[in-house]
Structure 1
């Protein structure tokens, strides 16, 4: 199977947390609009929502174990609410996603942002909405490049 065929048949899982969905949705929408231009039809992306970022790694693990997906993308926003919990959650999510990837062999891409000193006002909301648009494009590009690279490795 050549690279174009690999991409045309690949299925991708996109998991996003619902906390701050008005911001995180920008990543999803940007990802979906970019992925098709890169060779994977947007219709081949299955969307999943979880309550918060902490729930993403387990969902990613179950999706990876299903054998249905060439890649899994995770999007969320873990904000610093002035308590130390932020650091634990952020670390647990990122470490969990890496573990899923290494244990399953299915690439997992993180667009889980963990800003310090996030405040719910127009300037921060606008900045992170715009930033998640960029992150969606970057995740789509990384996903396609990695799916192609892994397909070359298995074909060799």
Structure 2
């Protein structure tokens, strides 16, 4: 079992509710923007994993650095600056506050907190790589 099991469960439950709630409210564009901001970071992560599996350590490290950079740019900077600002500040001024406004925005806040929790796990792995250690998934727990 992974050490971030509860975070992953919370992330997936929040995401499903956000997708359904956004659809129910007709917030298609903001929902797509949220999904894109989250999924764009996965490209470099999956590329890094691919290079690890192929034994290409240098390329894996390059892709991992790209992943960390994209994580910061999209999930820690663009997400709050564009998505959260739009939904918390601009949306109520334009269309008013719906009954789902606070629950959906609270879920966005939870996702943002999870981004930071995972970022610290990512930084631990990055430091391990920089210091010459072998990368491993810090989420794996032995029982």
TM over 0.5: no
Q: Normalization by structure 1: what TM-score? A: 0.31
Give the greater-gyration-radius structure (CA). 2
The structure with the largest strand share of the pair is 1
Q: Normalization by structure 2: what TM-score? A: 0.34
